[in-house]
Structure 1
Amino acid sequence: MIRITLAQMRRSVGRLAAAGIAIVIGTAFVAVTLLAGNVITSTTYDSIAAQYRGSDLVAGGVPVDDAGLDAVRQVAGVSSADEQLLSFQQLEHGNRTIFQGVLATPSDPAMLPLDLADGALPAGAGQIALPPDVAERFGVEVGEDITLVRNTLVDADADVWEWEEAREQLTVTGIVDDPYGAYSMFGGAAVAPATEVQAWEADLLAPGEVSTEPSTVLVGLDDGADVEQTRAAIDTALSSAVTAAGGDASDLEVVTPTEHAESVAAQMTGGDNIIFTTFVLVFAAVALLVAALVIANTFQVLVAQRTRTLALLRCVGADKGQLRRSVLFEASVLGLASSALGILLGTGIAQAALTIGSGMDLGIPLPTSIDITPAVVIAPLVVGTLVTLVAALAPARAATRVAPLAALRPADAPSSARGAGRFRLIASLVATVIGFVVLGGGVAISTVGDAPSDGILVALLGGSMSFVGVLVGSVFWLPRVVALAGRLVGASGPTARLAAANTLRNPRRTAATSTALLIGVTLVGMMSTAAASARLTMDSELDARYPVDVTVSSDLSGDGSDAAAMPVGLAGAIGDVDGVATVVEVPATLSGLTGPGVDPGAEVMVRGVTPDDATSVLRSPEMVAPLAAGTVVVPEGIAEVWSITDGQTLTFDRPDGELEVTAAVTELQDDAVVVVPADLATLDAAAPTTALYVGLEHPGDAASVVPDIQDVVADTEAPVNVMGAAVERAGFEQVIDTALAIVVGLLGVAVVIALIGVANTLSLSVIERRRESATLRAIGLSKGQLRGMLAVEGVLIALVGAVLGVLLGLVYGWTGAAAALGWAGEPAIVVPWADVSLMIGVALVAGLVASVVPARSAVKTSPVEALATE
């Protein structure tokens, strides 16, 4: 029987090609989806954990001294351990001054999160490596000198400590790039020897004073070292060292860079990692669903057309079991061979896309080669084979149930009499209604509940259930919708009316042909809508995280202790930079703070700004909405430090006077509290302008505008720091945009698969209707009219599938965005009109293209030949 089956396959190569193409493309989609999911996850995590690139473990949360570092280095399996130090220093060259973050070189150069672009890393005293922008701004090259200007605390007389300016010459040894944007907010980072950076920081402390700031220790492991065992040993050793030094080790954390990235990603997705952990699985399931439908539709028609051949085998002695095994063996061979080709095609496409993407300026580095894991090979192979087998089960069973003599009689094409059963109708209605109710419940859980992941999972379950109900019931309503659309074009002539009538004559065939496209367009519409809604919602979150695009500050210590007035005219010069929309001058003073529950001796920076100025420059004006005379806006971070509650009465005191105000705690991200200028004047009538809030016309242009602002600042003599929060924001947006582009691109492949399914099914239905087409030709239908009939039929089915898919996609996209981002507030409701128009246009063209080959096949056969009995 195996030989007979293989012989049948050789004789049916043309017919098997349609199913084979669907399987190849479907499995290729699964492979590409898995590979793309790996790339998205790795690049996202690499961007988030960029500062820890190269390290195996990161210890932090507590201050770590030299004894603690030595304790970590002595742990078995540890190859290196260094504190990650970033010291902000004033650099000068010619008439330009730049306040620049300087990173200490680790003992293992591989743990430096920067790439050496030119020259060498500094190896000794008096050396430094600069970011490209800083070197260009100074106009220096490798081997030239710049000046370091820093303050040191010296004993002037009788233990009276004073600040003294020190100037040192530094030689530029190299240029360092920041490919993942680890220090993009600071305009990159320079690099200096660790001993130098440690000395610079020590000079800022009085004798005996110890820094209480939490440290970050980067740990490298030996090859083959067990990560978990080493992590536990580091935790024990470092806890003991911190406790021995009189510290509290309760906040100590030892994590991998990936775990850090997962934690940050969880914060950006409502406190749970569900979006990233289920990403690959969801889209693999999407790929499976689309591929399964196309393969099943194609293979069902293919096997059904061979019913007479199978019946003939029954006549010559084959039993039902042999026929069933023959069909399943044929499906297995076809599935395995096509799946293997699909894997090769998918990996080739993924590698080509990665190669092209790596050569483009996407804003984030991409890996140079794909990572072929066992799942990438096994999953598509198993999926393609199993789907083909499942698609063959029903036709094989149907063929064995037909009596041999009845099967050998000529048979007409199926008619509308072969409708779906009542059970299917009830099941589809129940699944659809319950699914939409559960989907709404998931949105509600995500919006008002404490566990967003639960809401997402419930919404995913409800969406899947309702979509399955829609698909199962499509045989009842989809052909009628197509026929209704056919009436609109029926007035154009008999050809169009025939095409519309054909869609009703076989509802199963019409539903099967259109459902594949309906799925693909629904998924693309869903992702496009969800992506647009998510982008606006995430913009709101980024607005909260980065409320000011660029901050130009002269209060370099961060606490205002060495605040200096902003250089005269700097605000106007920055305002003239192309791309800058608003510049607000912000005076500030350091003030004592008292209030119920506030620790004695508390001091905070107090900024003064009018509500109108704050609204004009902040991305989230609502964060300063309570600002008014007698009210102080307190950022949540400061409120937590000093135990300040909303509505609490606070008293600020300065030599010039006292100010009693009511606290309004908001989500403002700042290191200072905010009052109106009149209240600030009560505290300090001569409070200097220590900061400029700069708003950009377009935050996405930050990478080009911020360097221009830094150029202006570099020409001033005073040390001024530029914090380009918009640059880091743009980096996050680039990651989001790249991920969404890949997702939409993947689902675009689903539409391609669906369109091929439309063409395959239409081709096979033409073969199935050879006698019908011949009859039409015999009674006078011309070749052109036959082509027109098939073209109208293809366009109707494709266009209706696309329009309904768009509508379903909008519903699922909106509810999906609400479920995934309900924790962030009310999600934005967006209609991606450009994507909607594109999908409908593609469906219109695809319907025409899909009819070309079947029409050529239909008109080639003469009426007499087609009407002859086989």
Structure 2
Amino acid sequence: MGKVTLRNLAAHKIRLVLTAVAVILGVAFVAGTLIFTDSMNKQFDELFSRIGTNVAVDVRAKQVVGADDDGSAAQPVPAAVLKALRGVDGVKDPKGNVSGYAAVVGKDGKIVGTAQNGPPQIGVNWTTGGSYDLSAGRAPQGPGEVLVDAKTAEKGKLAVGDTTRVITAGQPARMRIVGLVDTGNLMGATLTAFDTATAQKLMLKPGYFTDIEMGSTGVSQAELRDRVAKVLPQNMEAVTGEKLREESKSDIATMMSFFRTFLLAFALISIFVGSFIIFNTFSMLVAQRTRELALLRAIGAARGQVTRAVIGEAVAVGVVGSTLGLAAGAGLASMLQTQMGDAGQGGLTFTATPVIWSYAVGIVVTVVSAYFPARRAAKIPPVAAMRDDVALPQRSLRIRVALGSLLTLAGAGLIGAGLAGNGGNPAVPVGAGAFAVFIGIAMLAPVISVPVMKVLGAPFARLMGSPGRLARQNALRNPRRTAATAAALMIGLALITTVNVLGATMRASIDEQVDAQFGADYLVQADGAGGIGAGVSEKVKATPGVSAASPTYEGEARIEGKNASFMSGDVPAIAKAAKLKITSGGTAIGGAGIMVDEDTAKHNGWKVGSAVPVQFTDGRSERLTVTGVYTKSDLIGNRIISQAAYQRHTVNPSMDAIVVDASAPGAATKTALESALKDYPNVKVSDQASLKEDARKQVDGFVTFLTILLVMSVIIAAVGVINTLALSVIERTREIGLLRAIGISRRQLRRMVRLESIMIALFGAVLGMGIGVAFGAALQNALADKGLGVLAVPYGTLLVYLVVAAVIGVLAALWPAWRAGRMDVLKAISTE
């Protein structure tokens, strides 16, 4: 039977190559994701192995609020602690570190590096013997001098001796570049370094450090840590250098794990779509060789041998597809690294993991998809070889309809339970539910296809004459095959439609929120990390046409023992800017007050006058009094804490935004504000329209990114349509010959194949978009209380997708139609 398998592979090269394309694309996604994340993990490991190599113990503030992931609200370490550490036996060269946000302005007047959602702009104090080396110039020695990493200088067209602006949380400072720093690969981040006093003034507070690191004179890290801990204040802690590095690696590993899982989810979607194509291809190949397989049974081949022969073909396709997919995955990983810019300059890392998973996924999916057609082939009785009308046994559609209905209902239930659940990870039940719905709809598709294809095919039959009528009859002839072909396209377009409905809903909901909840004339906010500099508020207040400007702050605290975010600032101004509806109490919050929304008050049993225990990031606690309760506000959040209380517990408050009212709002006032803030390139001025536009751009970027990832599944589905039509043309060779014999022209024949392809593609698109709209509506309904209050269906976009599906049908039919049109009539008629 091995020879039979090899002969069949050689006889059906083109058909199996098309099947292998589905395996290649799916495996490429898996391999590319694994190779890319392995490569990035190695780069991070190399980065962290270089940083802090000589640190034995690090002293820092205890982390009170677990939500403070970026450390922006962490309390600094007083310089007095550094003095005390010098007297501890075993401590070697203790150094105070200062770090924070600092960005460099290039020759073009723009901040070097990506300010929005890009690599960080890091500012530090320069210490000899630190993690970085000077590549040119000298160390900074005063408030007007700065070091810049060499790559940032190159991007900003800056050199040693140039004067540039440095943007920090304080006033922008003009500084002279006195040296360049060799940072190796900082993954695209920018680095600036100042002398310690300047760094404290610009990024922290004079007399404070972010942390203090030290070496050891021979004492173990654990022992030195214990010695250091004895001289520390209660709100400080000592950790070993090894633990410090492991924490940093752990944070990156968590991020990369999420990224890997995110991409693998789309890879699995592609493989899932590909499995329909593989199943369909082997079903048709086995159906076309029914008599051949029956003859094998007649001359003595056992059922198991016939099954293994077909499975052998699947294994061969899986091996070839996995090998080519692994190679394509390396190319995909390289392309992803290129898109990362400076962060992707470390080259690719190859481990055994991508290889193992590529072959495991490619072979297993192919074999499982081919197993059921192989089993059906083995059930053909030997006597059937003597008949001309031998065909594969088909199960009743009743069982299929019952099982499909059950899976669809169960999947819908899982999705509903996942979206409505208050605890746990909703991704698991939602993902399982979506999978069940897709399988269920795919099982129901043969029944659904008959009425739908009649409707979709009616205009073609009426307008295109005989080719249109024949195309509709061909599509209706084998509902199972039509459904299996369309199912692949259905899944891809269902997910793309869901993403687009969700995107349109987000845009509509944001527009409604801004209209209903934004009452200020302008909002001044940071365009990226680092917050708003201290001098911005004064500049805004002094701008002609501005009647009021109120800074707002965001913070983290532990309230009732749980991590919680809050807003702070001038509460009456915040209430006016957010159009807050006060249901009880008022905005007279005083120096120790807190306001909460109705849901928070109800959940905790609070009312006006209730005392709320709040532990701030400095470790100290206060009991704040509830002074007011307001209706839910998506712009403000659940809590507002008095500005005085926030500042009592924050050494270096950082403004999040400034709400601005104008005596004569309009283009002139906005222009005046932008002119007043020209020295702050990290700050932008927004009115209601630009707030909406910024939000739309972010949503559009998110939708585009997800759509691009899902396009792979649509490409695989298009390959499936090509494969099905090509095999269908071969299957109908004699029929095509007869059609040519009775007078149908080559052009009409090609048109018939194209129209059949378009009908199948449109059926998949209509089914997929219907499911996608239903999924999108379910998500909106479940997240209505989380800010998605308006359901919006992008009808124009869906119409475009329908046209794209028709184009896919046309393109998919080009080769099969060409092949059908060039058949020799006499040879076709004589084909058995």
Q: Which runs of 5+ in 1 are unaligned?
A: 92-99, 149-167, 206-210, 222-229, 266-272, 576-582, 590-596, 598-603, 616-620, 651-659, 675-690, 697-703, 715-721
Alpha-carbon offset, residue 753 of structure 1: 0.5
Q: Does 1:404 align with 2:373?
A: no
Q: Taking structure 1 as reference, are residues 246 and 527 closer, same or farther at Cα in structure 2, changes over 3 Å only? A: same
| Separation in 2, partners of 1:36, 1:85 | 30
Q: In 1, are the aligned partners of 2:414 and 2:433 still within 8 Å (CA)?
A: yes
Q: Does 1:523 align with 2:506?
A: no
Alpha-carbon offset, residue 425 of structure 1: 1.2
Q: Taking structure 1 as reference, are residues 358 and 729 closer, same or farther at Cα in structure 2, changes over 3 Å only? A: farther
Q: 2:409 aligns with which of 433, 438, 444?
A: 433
SS of the residue aligned with 2:25?
Answer: helix
What residue is the counterpart of 1:846 in the other structure? 808
Q: Deviations over 1:652-692 (max 9, x none)?
A: xxxxxxxx994458648988649xxxxxxxxxxxxxxxx96
| Separation in 2, partners of 1:559, 1:144 | 23
Alpha-carbon offset, residue 709 of structure 1: 5.0
SS of the residue aligned with 1:103?
Answer: strand
Q: Taking structure 1 as reference, are residues 169 and 379 closer, same or farther at Cα in structure 2, changes over 3 Å only? A: closer
What residue is the counterpart of 1:494 in the other structure? 466
Q: Deviations over 1:154-197 (max 9, x none)?
A: xxxxxxxxxxxxxx99753147899999999xxx8852123664
| Separation in 2, partners of 1:812, 1:72 | 63
Q: Deviations over 1:745-780 (max 9, x none)?
A: 221011001001011111101111222222333333
- Matched AA of 1:485: L
Q: Deviations over 1:11-35 (max 9, x none)?
A: 3323322222332233223334545
What residue is the counterpart of 2:398 in the other structure? 422
Q: Taking structure 1 as reference, are residues 438 and 867 closer, same or farther at Cα in structure 2, changes over 3 Å only? A: same
Q: Deviations over 1:636-666 (max 9, x none)?
A: 99779xx99863499xxxxxxxxx9944586
| Separation in 2, partners of 1:536, 1:219 | 54
What residue is the counterpart of 1:506 in the other structure? 478
Q: Taking structure 1 as reference, are residues 629 and 494 closer, same or farther at Cα in structure 2, changes over 3 Å only? A: same
What residue is the counterpart of 2:31 in the other structure? 31
Q: In 2, are the aligned partners of 1:648 and 1:662 still within 8 Å (CA)?
A: yes
What residue is the counterpart of 1:128 in the other structure? 145
Q: In 2, are the aligned partners of 1:127 and 1:193 still within 8 Å (CA)?
A: no
SS of the residue aligned with 1:550?
Answer: strand
Q: Which runs of 5+ in 2 are unaligned?
A: 63-75, 106-120, 167-172, 553-559, 561-566, 597-603, 612-624, 631-635, 645-656, 663-670
Q: 2:678 aligns with which of 690, 700, 711?
A: 711
What residue is the counterpart of 2:177 in the other structure? 172
**TM-score scaled by length of structure 1:** 0.66
Which residues in structure 2 correspond to 1:471-482 (within 5 Å)?
Answer: 471-482=442-453
Q: 1:245 aligns with which of 206, 229, 232?
A: 232
Q: Taking structure 1 as reference, are residues 366 and 196 closer, same or farther at Cα in structure 2, changes over 3 Å only? A: same
What residue is the counterpart of 1:462 in the other structure? 433
Q: Taking structure 1 as reference, are residues 105 and 768 closer, same or farther at Cα in structure 2, changes over 3 Å only? A: same
Q: Deviations over 1:810-840 (max 9, x none)?
A: 3224445666x67844465343456434422
Q: In 1, are the aligned partners of 2:677 and 2:683 still within 8 Å (CA)?
A: no
SS of the residue aligned with 2:773?
Answer: helix
Which residues in structure 2 correspond to 1:346-425 (within 5 Å)?
Answer: 346-352=329-335, 354-355=337-338, 357-358=339-340, 365-366=343-344, 369-407=347-385, 409-411=387-389, 418=394, 420-425=396-401
Q: Taking structure 1 as reference, are residues 611 and 587 closer, same or farther at Cα in structure 2, changes over 3 Å only? A: closer
| Separation in 2, partners of 1:644, 1:81 | 48
How many residue pairs were aligned? 714
What residue is the counterpart of 1:747 in the other structure? 710
- Which piece of structure 1 moves more, 315-324 or 459-468? 315-324
Alpha-carbon offset, residue 219 of structure 1: 9.2
What residue is the counterpart of 2:798 in the other structure? 836
SS of the residue aligned with 1:849?
Answer: helix
Q: Does 1:143 align with 2:161?
A: yes
Q: 1:797 aligns with which of 752, 760, 763?
A: 760
| Separation in 1, partners of 2:199, 2:754 | 74
SS of the residue aligned with 1:571?
Answer: coil
Q: In 1, are the aligned partners of 2:94 and 2:215 still within 8 Å (CA)?
A: yes
SS of the residue aligned with 1:755?
Answer: helix
Q: Taking structure 1 as reference, are residues 81 and 549 closer, same or farther at Cα in structure 2, changes over 3 Å only? A: farther
CA RMSD of aligned residues (A): 5.9
| Separation in 1, partners of 2:772, 2:586 | 50
Q: Taking structure 1 as reference, are residues 745 and 568 closer, same or farther at Cα in structure 2, changes over 3 Å only? A: closer
Alpha-carbon offset, residue 237 of structure 1: 5.5
Alpha-carbon offset, residue 216 of structure 1: 4.2
SS of the residue aligned with 1:491?
Answer: helix
Q: Taking structure 1 as reference, are residues 508 and 605 closer, same or farther at Cα in structure 2, changes over 3 Å only? A: closer
Q: Taking structure 1 as reference, are residues 830 and 405 closer, same or farther at Cα in structure 2, changes over 3 Å only? A: same
- Matched AA of 1:846: I
| Separation in 2, partners of 1:183, 1:404 | 68
Q: Does 1:105 align with 2:126?
A: yes
Q: Does 1:303 align with 2:303?
A: no
Alpha-carbon offset, residue 787 of structure 1: 1.8
| Separation in 1, partners of 2:445, 2:745 | 33
Q: Deviations over 1:556-576 (max 9, x none)?
A: x9999xx9994698413xx7x
Q: Taking structure 1 as reference, are residues 382 and 723 closer, same or farther at Cα in structure 2, changes over 3 Å only? A: same
- Matched AA of 2:819: S
Q: Does 1:632 align with 2:632?
A: no
Q: Taking structure 1 as reference, are residues 539 and 409 closer, same or farther at Cα in structure 2, changes over 3 Å only? A: same
Q: In 1, are the aligned partners of 2:568 and 2:640 still within 8 Å (CA)?
A: no
SS of the residue aligned with 2:459?
Answer: helix
Q: In 2, are the aligned partners of 1:537 and 1:827 still within 8 Å (CA)?
A: yes
SS of the residue aligned with 2:813?
Answer: helix
What residue is the counterpart of 2:112 in the other structure? none
Alpha-carbon offset, residue 461 of structure 1: 2.4
| Separation in 1, partners of 2:595, 2:184 | 36
Q: In 2, are the aligned partners of 1:28 and 1:343 still within 8 Å (CA)?
A: yes
Alpha-carbon offset, residue 506 of structure 1: 1.0
Q: Taking structure 1 as reference, are residues 72 and 192 closer, same or farther at Cα in structure 2, changes over 3 Å only? A: farther
- Matched AA of 1:66: L
What residue is the counterpart of 2:22 in the other structure? 22
Alpha-carbon offset, residue 421 of structure 1: 3.2
Q: In 2, are the aligned partners of 1:331 and 1:388 still within 8 Å (CA)?
A: yes
| Separation in 2, partners of 1:55, 1:725 | 40
What residue is the counterpart of 1:194 in the other structure? 196
- Matched AA of 2:82: D
Which residues in structure 2 correspond to 1:429-828 (within 5 Å)?
Answer: 429-445=405-421, 449=422, 451=423, 453-492=424-463, 493-531=465-503, 533=505, 549-550=523-524, 566=538, 570-572=542-544, 585-586=548-549, 607=570, 614-615=576-577, 621-622=578-579, 624-626=580-582, 631-632=587-588, 647-648=608-609, 662-663=627-628, 667=637, 673=643, 693=659, 710-712=677-679, 741-816=704-779, 824-826=786-788
Q: In 1, are the aligned partners of 2:60 and 2:237 still within 8 Å (CA)?
A: no
Q: Taking structure 1 as reference, are residues 243 and 405 closer, same or farther at Cα in structure 2, changes over 3 Å only? A: same
Q: Taking structure 1 as reference, are residues 277 and 387 closer, same or farther at Cα in structure 2, changes over 3 Å only? A: closer
Q: In 2, are the aligned partners of 1:635 and 1:672 still within 8 Å (CA)?
A: yes
- Which piece of structure 1 moves more, 432-441 or 57-66? 57-66
| Separation in 2, partners of 1:519, 1:568 | 52
Q: 2:248 aligns with which of 257, 272, 287?
A: 257
SS of the residue aligned with 1:129?
Answer: strand
| Separation in 2, partners of 1:559, 1:644 | 39
Q: Does 1:282 align with 2:265?
A: yes
Q: Taking structure 1 as reference, are residues 462 and 481 closer, same or farther at Cα in structure 2, changes over 3 Å only? A: same
Alpha-carbon offset, residue 806 of structure 1: 1.5
What residue is the counterpart of 2:97 in the other structure? 83
| Separation in 1, partners of 2:100, 2:162 | 23
SS of the residue aligned with 1:245?
Answer: coil
Q: Deviations over 1:376-411 (max 9, x none)?
A: 322221111112212332232223322334235433
Q: Taking structure 1 as reference, are residues 366 and 732 closer, same or farther at Cα in structure 2, changes over 3 Å only? A: farther
